[in-house]
């Protein structure tokens, strides 16, 4: 069968329904908010006229119904957040204390399983490696690059090129790098860049993604490749925001570039630096697409988010999957607390 | 530090002009090296993408037998890979045209809904006085840290069996089939996007001048009127920033689509299909390279043409937070 455009029509129809629903909901809400207060205003006006002509008592001026407005403005958001996020999250916590089919309470068994099963301990360990390495390497690279490219020629082009991977999906990026890591046996020409480099240096080609623990590091390279651009852009903006007179004063004092970096640049961009590290840490904890696309979690490369998906949606182990999700949430909390404490210090200091 | 710097400064001044001239030459050289190194790194950064791009235009036999760098000595190009992967007849070819439409159908409403709902909510949280406003804002703000993994299992159950409390069916199951499943994905993406969207738009809306709002209030404008005629036009850059952000996020998402859209070509987006192809047909490089590029090209165009808005949004979202 050739590609048949007619077969795609139901999708466009569905998309149209979606857009109609959008217009109806948002337009309806705005209309409602416009019409109802106008009606009240007219009624009040009528009462005022009646009162002034009839000589009766003036109607008491009521407080404007701010609360009611707020309720309608917030209604869609609050409804969706409670149905789609708050209630499910609470349910996940409950499910994590239940068995695979969510029928019986099993206490802490799912959590015990997480730390006793060797393959899951491996998963936790991999996640630890990810979350230690990605923020560190990506931020360091981003910072160095931001400093180096600052006021260089072609700055914006160079920055765009580094930043570009941010637009590429994790799936796309994983395919790009799988191609870099591609393997052909020794007799053949290599098609993967990495093996070609190894071969031309006189080495033997390797199946990079099958080698544990090296493969985890090679997957981490993908994440760093994507996220370094984010770090670079945020830090570069922070560097440009350092007041020029401070830099100038330091320069007049004859400060060396090295001193300039550690004594002027670093303290000034510390808040941005913390934001970048925190954001990257959280993003890395949740990494899923890269592992799934590149190795599907095989060869000892799985991480928590990937294992959570497998348990809950492939093996039907709702209890164990939920426990992994809750554990992921618990891991995020200290990072966020650290950031909040930092923000508070900044505000006080 | 304070005691050391004056002496250094004095030393530099004492030696007078020659040093500063030499220093100027040196700093120009430095900046030239910096320029060179940063360009080289930027090019290195682009090589993997470039390799994929070049390969996607090479004939199948060539891709599978020689490296892409050989095109510089032996250029051979074809559009067949794209033809095959987009419109190919066999089920193994990819049929990405169909998935491309799915990606569009998923992404457009998933951007519009949170954009509208969050801007309404952000306005209320910033400019309408009501009790508990600050607490509500903090609560929504805090929801950003809940990993969406926390919501997946119950939300899927919500779609498939509805809500039952103590044996009473409160909400029915959605029972969606085929392309109707788009609605599930829109719903999920909208919910997951709201905390960040409210936070980002609140940042912008709350910084609008107070005088402007009060003047409008004094003139008798109601909140909906202020929202439509004053706030919306002023926050277009913020709307654009979030729109791009959400567009890239939804278009590139794998997890949510995998769970709520299913795997068939009626609903699954490009990312799901590509991840599947990478798993089952990992050596069909002629299809994978072309397919990956098909999925990359739309976000790339959006990104490059609207990068200014995106960066501004990114900075507002991460640095001010």
Helix (H, G, I), strand (E, B) or coil at A205: coil
Contact B307 A160 (CB under 8 A): yes
What is the C-alpha separation between A261 and A239, in angstroms, rounded? 10
DSSP states of B28-53: HHHHHHHHHHHHHHHHHHHHHHHHHH
The pLDDT score that the predictor gives to residue A224 is 95
Give the number of beta-carbon pairs within 8 Å between A and B.
366
What tens digit of pLDDT does each residue of A61-100 get? Answer: 555 567 778 888 899 999 999 999 999 999 999 999 988 8
Q: DSSP strand E in B222-310: where?
A: none
Whole-number pLDDT of residue B24: 62
* Res B6: pLDDT: 35
pTM confidence score: 0.86
CA distances from B61 to A112, A179, A182, A195, B212 (A): 52, 16, 16, 19, 66
Is pLDDT of B315 > 80?
Answer: no
With 80 as the cut, is the pLDDT of residue B4 above it? no
Q: What is the largest CA-CA distance in chain A?
A: 106
Rounded CA-CA distance A316/B162 in Å is: 19
Which of A138, A136, A162 lies closest to A149 in space, CA to CA?
A: A162
* Tens digit of each residue's pLDDT (9 = 90 or more) over A39-61: 777 887 888 887 777 665 655 55
How big is chain A by its Cα radius of gyration, in Å? 29
Sign of the CA dihedral running A317, A319, A322, A323? negative
The per-residue pLDDT for range A97-131, each reduced to its tens digit, is: 988 887 888 888 889 998 998 889 999 999 999 99
Report domain B87-318's class: mainly alpha
- Peptide bond connecting A213 to the previous residue in cis, omega within 30 degrees of 0: yes
Is A22 in contact with B109 (Cβ distance < 8 A)?
yes
pLDDT per position as a tens digit, B269-288: 999 988 888 887 667 888 88
pLDDT of residue A22: 92
Instruction: Report the residue from A86, A163, A176 with minimal CB separation from B52.
Output: A176
Residue B100 and residue B102: Cα distance in Å, rounded?
Answer: 5
Q: How far apart are CA A115 and CA A98, in angstroms?
A: 17
Which chain B residues have a beta carbon less than 8 Å from that of A151?
31
Candidates B36, B38, B176: best to mutate against A (most CBs of A within 10 A) is B38
Spacing of C-alpha A288 from chain mean position? 11
Residue A98 has φ and ψ, to the nearest 5°, of: -120, 170
Q: How far apart are CA A127 and CA B31, in angstroms?
A: 39
Q: How many CB atoms lie within 10 A of CB B16?
A: 9
Gap between the Cα atoms of A334 and B190, Å rounded = 27
Separation CA B120–CA A32 (nearest Å): 14
- All structural domains of chain A: 5-109 (no CATH), 116-348 (1.10.3720.10)
Output the CA angle A93-A98-A102, nearest 5 degrees.
100
Give the separation between CA B274 and CA B253, rounded to whole angstroms. Answer: 12
Tell me the average pLDDT across A12-18.
89
Q: Rounded to 5 degrees, what angle do the CA atoms A33, A38, A42 make?
A: 160
- What is the nearest CA distance from B98 to chain A, expressed in angstroms? 7
CA dist A74 and A77 (Å) reads 5
Q: Supply the DSSP symbol for B90.
A: S
Q: How far apart are CA B17 and CA B20, in angstroms?
A: 5
E strand spans, A26-139: none
Contact at CB, A175 and B289, closer than 8 angstroms? yes
Please give the helix or strand (H or E) that residue A249 lies within, else none: helix A244-252
What's the whole-number mean pLDDT along residues A153-177? 88
Cα(A149)–Cα(A236) distance, integer angstroms: 9
The crossing angle, in degrees rounded to 10, of helices A214-240 and A266-285 is 140
Q: Higher confidence at residue B300 or residue B12? A: B300
A296 phi-psi bin (left φ>0, alpha ψ -120 to 50, beta other): left
- Phi-psi map region of A323: left, alpha, beta (phi>0 left; psi -120 to 50 alpha): alpha
pLDDT at A20: 93
pLDDT in tens, A219-263: 999 999 999 999 998 899 888 888 888 888 888 888 888 888 888
State which residue of chain A sits closest to B319, comparing Cα positions.
A272
Confidence of residue B119 (pLDDT cuts 50, 70, 90): very high
Exposed / middle / buried, residue B242 (Cβ in 10 Å: 0-12, 13-18, 19+): buried
What value of ipTM does the predicted structure carry? 0.86
C-alpha to C-alpha distance for A227 and A267, rounded to whole angstroms: 23
User: Which residues of chain B have a CB within 8 Å of the CB of A252?
Assistant: 9
Chain B 27-86, residues with CB within 8 Å of chain A CB atoms: 30-31, 34-35, 37-39, 41-43, 45-49, 51-52, 55, 63-69, 86
Contacts 24+ apart (CB under 8 A), B52-58: B52/A175, B52/A176, B52/A179, B52/B289, B52/B292, B52/B293, B53/B289, B53/B293, B55/A179, B55/B285, B55/B289, B56/B81, B56/B82, B56/B286, B56/B289, B56/B290, B56/B292, B56/B293, B57/B81, B58/B286
State pLDDT tens for residues A177-219: 998 998 888 888 888 889 888 888 888 888 888 888 889 999 9
Most confident of A308-312, A345-349, B88-92: A308-312
* Residue ranges covered by each domain of chain B: 4-82, 87-318
Tell me if A42 sits within 8 A of B192, measured CB to CB.
Answer: no
3-state secondary structure of A168: coil
Q: Pick from B164, B158, B159: which is nearest to B181 by CA?
A: B159
Q: Which residues face B171 on adjacent strands?
A: B163
Strands of chain B (E only): list them: 163-165, 168-171
Burial of A275 (0-12, 13-18, 19+ CB in 10 A): buried
DSSP 8-state code for residue B57: T
Binned at pLDDT 50, 70 and 90, residue B17 comes out as very low
Q: Calculate mean pLDDT across residues B286-310.
A: 86
| A287 at B interface, C-beta within 8 A | no
Query: Within the 277-296 window of chain B, which residues sit less than 8 Å (CB to CB) from chain A?
Result: 278-279, 282, 285, 288-289, 291-292, 295-296
Determine the Cα angle at B122 with ends B119 and B127, to 5°. 120
pLDDT at B72: 84
Task: Note whether B149 contacts A76, CB cutoff 8 Å.
Answer: no
Q: Are B118 and A26 in contact (CB under 8 A)?
A: no
Q: Give whole-number Cα distances, A317 to A106, A124, A323, B156, B162, in Å.
A: 13, 18, 10, 14, 20
B291, B260, B290: which is closest to B275 by C-alpha? B291
Q: Which residues pair with B165 in a beta bridge?
A: B168
A10: chain B residues, CB-CB within 8 Å: 178-179, 266
């Amino acid at each position: 069968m050739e590609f048949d455009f007619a077969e795609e029509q139901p999708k466009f129809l569905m998309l149209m329904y979606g857009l109609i629903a959008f217009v109806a909901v948002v337009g309806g809400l705005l209309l409602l908010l416009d019409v109802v207060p106008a009606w009240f205003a007219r009624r009040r006006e009528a009462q005022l006229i009646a009162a002034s002509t009839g000589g009766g008592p003036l109607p008491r001026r009521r407080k404007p119904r701010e609360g009611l407005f707020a309720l309608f403005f917030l209604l869609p958001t609050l409804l969706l957040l409670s149905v789609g996020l708050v209630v499910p999250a609470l349910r996940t916590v409950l499910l994590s204390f239940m068995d695979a089919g969510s029928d019986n309470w099993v206490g802490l068994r799912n959590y015990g399983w997480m730390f006793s099963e060797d393959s899951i301990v491996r998963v936790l360990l991999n996640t630890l490696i990810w979350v230690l390495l990605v923020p560190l390497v990506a931020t360091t690279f981003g910072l160095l690059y931001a400093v180096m490219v600052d006021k260089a020629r072609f700055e914006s082009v160079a920055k765009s090129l580094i930043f570009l991977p941010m637009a590429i999906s994790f799936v796309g990026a994983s395919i790009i790098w799988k191609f870099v890591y591609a393997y052909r046996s020794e007799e053949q020409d290599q098609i993967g860049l990495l093996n070609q480099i190894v071969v031309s240096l006189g080495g033997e080609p390797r199946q990079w993604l099958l080698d544990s623990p090296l493969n985890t590091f090679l997957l981490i390279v993908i994440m760093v490749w994507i996220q370094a651009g984010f770090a670079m852009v945020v830090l570069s903006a922070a560097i440009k925001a350092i007041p020029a007179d401070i830099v100038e004063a330091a320069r007049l004092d004859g400060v060396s570039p090295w001193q300039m970096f550690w004594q002027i640049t670093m303290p000034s961009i510390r808040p941005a630096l913390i934001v970048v590290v925190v954001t990257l840490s959280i993003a890395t904890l949740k990494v899923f697409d890269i592992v799934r696309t590149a190795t599907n979690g095989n060869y000892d490369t799985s991480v928590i988010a990937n294992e959570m998906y497998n348990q809950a949606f492939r093996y039907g182990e709702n209890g164990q999957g939920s426990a992994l999700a809750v554990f992921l949430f618990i891991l995020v909390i200290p990072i966020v607390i650290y950031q909040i404490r930092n923000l508070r210090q900044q505000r006080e200091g | 530090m304070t005691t050391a710097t004056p002496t250094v400064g004095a030393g530099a001044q004492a030696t007078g002009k020659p040093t500063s001239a030499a220093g100027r030459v040196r700093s120009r050289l430095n900046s030239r090296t910096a320029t060179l190194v940063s360009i080289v790194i930027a090019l290195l950064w682009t090589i993997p993408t470039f390799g994929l791009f070049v390969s996607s235009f090479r004939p199948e036999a060539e891709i599978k037998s020689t490296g892409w760098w050989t095109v510089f000595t032996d250029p051979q190009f074809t559009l067949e890979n794209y033809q095959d992967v987009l419109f190919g007849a066999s089920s193994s070819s990819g049929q990405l045209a169909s998935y491309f439409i799915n990606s569009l159908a998923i992404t457009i409403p998933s951007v519009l809904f949170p954009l509208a709902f969050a801007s309404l909510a952000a306005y209320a949280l910033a400019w309408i006085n009501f009790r508990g406003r600050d607490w509500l804002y903090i609560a929504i703000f805090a929801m950003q840290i809940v990993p969406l993994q926390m919501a997946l299992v119950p939300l899927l159950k919500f779609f498939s069996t509805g809500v039952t409390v103590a044996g009473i069916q409160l909400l029915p199951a959605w029972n969606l089939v085929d392309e109707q499943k788009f609605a599930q994905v829109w719903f999920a993406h909208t919910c997951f996007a709201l905390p960040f969207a409210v936070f980002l738009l609140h940042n912008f809306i709350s910084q609008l001048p107070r005088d402007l709002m009060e003047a409008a209030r004094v003139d008798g404008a109601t909140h909906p009127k202020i929202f439509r005629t004053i706030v919306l036009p002023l926050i277009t850059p913020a709307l654009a920033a979030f729109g791009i952000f959400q567009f890239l996020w939804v278009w590139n998402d794998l997890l949510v689509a995998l769970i709520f859209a299913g795997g068939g070509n009626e609903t699954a987006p490009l990312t799901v299909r590509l991840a599947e192809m990478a798993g089952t047909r990992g050596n069909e490089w002629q299809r994978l390279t072309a397919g990956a590029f098909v999925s990359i090209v739309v976000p790339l165009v959006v990104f490059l043409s609207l990068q200014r808005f995106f960066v501004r949004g990114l900075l507002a979202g991460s640095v001010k937070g």
